[in-house]
Structure 1
Amino acid sequence: MSYEFERESLENADDRIVAGRAADGDTVAFAVLVRRYTPMMRAYARRILSGSADVDDVLQDAFITAWEQLAQLQDPGQTKSWLMRITSRKAIDRVRVSRSYTDLTEMELPAPERIAPPRQAEANAGVAALNEALLALPDAQRECWVLREFGGYTYEEIAEQLDVSVSTVRGLLARARKDIIVRMEDWR
């Protein structure tokens, strides 16, 4: 079987097959996983890291970890969520190390095509106010809030990512939301 034919057949294969082959050391299969999930992982890491230059480093670290630990993946059908958890951990570790923050003003937020300049200025000011509110939060609250609101993580997934209990996640999110609501009162 030729390399090109093998690669094309793997491109269309289910994650179970591709991840299983990659776990057996098949670099072609692993390259398929990299191509398949890089855009999603990059977008997610960019949300956590505020679009910083660290995104590519985080992705590289995530894929190195994935390659090293692929044989330990118990359900190859869960490859996508497993890769996203690795990406999340690597991005959060990078945030912790650099003590950076989520700067919403640098995030690419979708806007309507035709928006009046006064409305656009108001929207930008609202994003800046939310960014200030997030910066005022303690790191743990901000991380929980970003994972929940931008990452769409469940409480259980956040608890796993941050290595805390689900009740701690609930408390951190409740305090973060309360603080943000108070700080954003003028924007209601």
Structure 2
Amino acid sequence: MPAPPNTAPFAEVLADLATDLRRGSCCLVVCDKGWTLPLYVGLKERLHAANAKCGYLDGRVKDATANGEAGIMLAAVAQMRWAVRAAEAEGVIFAIPHLDVMTAVEGGWTSVSREVIPLLYENAATVWLGFQDPSLQLPQLVEKVFTRLYVIETPYRTLETVRPTVSAEPPATPTISSPTDPG
């Protein structure tokens, strides 16, 4: 199993991001999708050190039977619904790792995006941390929720082209020996 990616180069960005979130600013992080979880983990450590609570609304449920076959995006919407309406969610910073997928403008409005966008506006006291892959465009209506924008241009993975080595010599033809006739 490969080692988790190193977020140390983003220490200053994570510190600024944690400060903005603690101040109540909704923040949008534009980065390769692969960076979402590692950046959140690094940020969560900083927030916990400052006694700030945070939640990760990724659609996973503890009890798989409770959600049935509804799907991860619908479960994430349900988590967002709870985040903006539950009294115990007050003062919690909520990360939405799939904000880009849930609200992307390609293909038009979906039932998920029609519910997510009003939830982003429903409770002005809710502090959101959204993640967006640069390959997906968010509606301006979503972008307006976020007062701070952080862009991380470092690719999560780099594409390496592998070219097989070509030998200048033609391959040797195999020698087939025939059995000798003792006769």
How high is the TM-score relative to the length of structure 1?
Answer: 0.22
By percentage of residues, which structure has more helix?
A: 1
Larger radius of gyration: 2
- Structure with the bigger RCO (C-alpha within 8 Å, sep 6+) is 2
By percentage of residues, which structure has more strand?
A: 2
How high is the TM-score relative to the length of structure 2?
Answer: 0.23
